[in-house]
Amino acid sequence: MSGLPPARFPPPLAPGDEVALVAPAGAVDRAAVAQAVGLLEARGLRVRARRDLTARVRTLAGPDGRRAGELAGALRDPAVRAVFCVRGGYGSQRILGALPPDPGAAPKPVVGFSDNTALLVHLRDRWGWAVVHGAHPEDPAGLDAALGVLGLFGEPARTLGRDLRWWNPGQAGLVIAEVAGGCLSLLAALAGTPHGFRARGRIVFVEEVAEPVYRIDRMLHQLGASGGLDGARAVVFGRLPSFLPPGTDPEPLEHLVAEFARSAPFPVLSGLPAGHTDPNLPVPFGPRAVLDPGAGTLAFLEGAVR
């Protein structure tokens, strides 16, 4: 994985640890914050949330400077043992340039998804931190799954995907590699920027929500043409119905994925229960995983915390 820093793993969470809520992207509803605080406290954690967490500028959770300062402060504060993004929306990539090039702190778990994909890619690929693509903390089931991966409830189960569909049988076999990726629209939007995503010998996870097929096609093409998939060992899509607006005929998307798989020099699978779907299971970026296309499974060989 040339050019990719080795993963640095955070310690596991323990009861009584302090965790921070941050809003690096879209504006946050007060009810969602209250729900997240209540759920985290009920699981034995102490919660830190800035009073201006629910600020708003257009659709953003306050000015770029507010969001960047909140995020950088939580990431570098040694008293904070984990950071949870409260929501996605839009805005994470606007503040990546404001983050210091070096973390200046020991790694800690960072959990988010959707627009937070931009942040997860930056922290893993630039800082070397192992991070978790997982649900926002107002989702009780998603939160418990993420906390399980972070060791709060003991050793978690490491099999994430079962009954995955293999779109190009015969293309390679067992793959052992790190997983990376996230929301397709963010991976595509990062192309051509200093924060661009690169596969670099990894299993690429891709998910999306409520997009027409032509836009999914365009984003896949942009990601591939920009070199974002160069060196990929495999691509695993999330559950395909979640990519589309509700009620949309899935057949055109299936044709697109089949076309993508026919030209791919690596296994292509779909059906991972992560991202904009229920359940939204956590996908750690950092530990090695084993993808068995024939069995339709993705399982992690290592924990997300050490």
Active site residues: 114, 207, 276
Structure-token match 């032509």, residue found: 214
β-bridge partners, 21: 84
Q: Report DSSP letters for the chain, one per residue.
A: -TTPPPPBPPPPP-TT-EEEEE-SSB---HHHHHHHHHHHHHTT-EEE--TTTT--BTTBSS-HHHHHHHHHHHHH-TT--EEEE---SS-GGGGGGGS-SS--S----EEE-GGGHHHHHHIIIII-B-EEE---TT-HHHHHHHHHHTTTTSSPP-EEE-SPEESSTTS---EEEEEEEEEHHHHHHTTTSTT----TTSEEEEE--S--HHHHHHHHHHHHHTTTTTT-SEEEEE-GGGGS-TT--SHHHHHHHHHHHHH-SS-EEEEE--SSSSS---EEESSEEEEETTTTEEEESS-S--
Distance CA 244, CA 208 (A): 8
Parallel/antiparallel/unpaired status of strands 283-285 and 175-183: unpaired
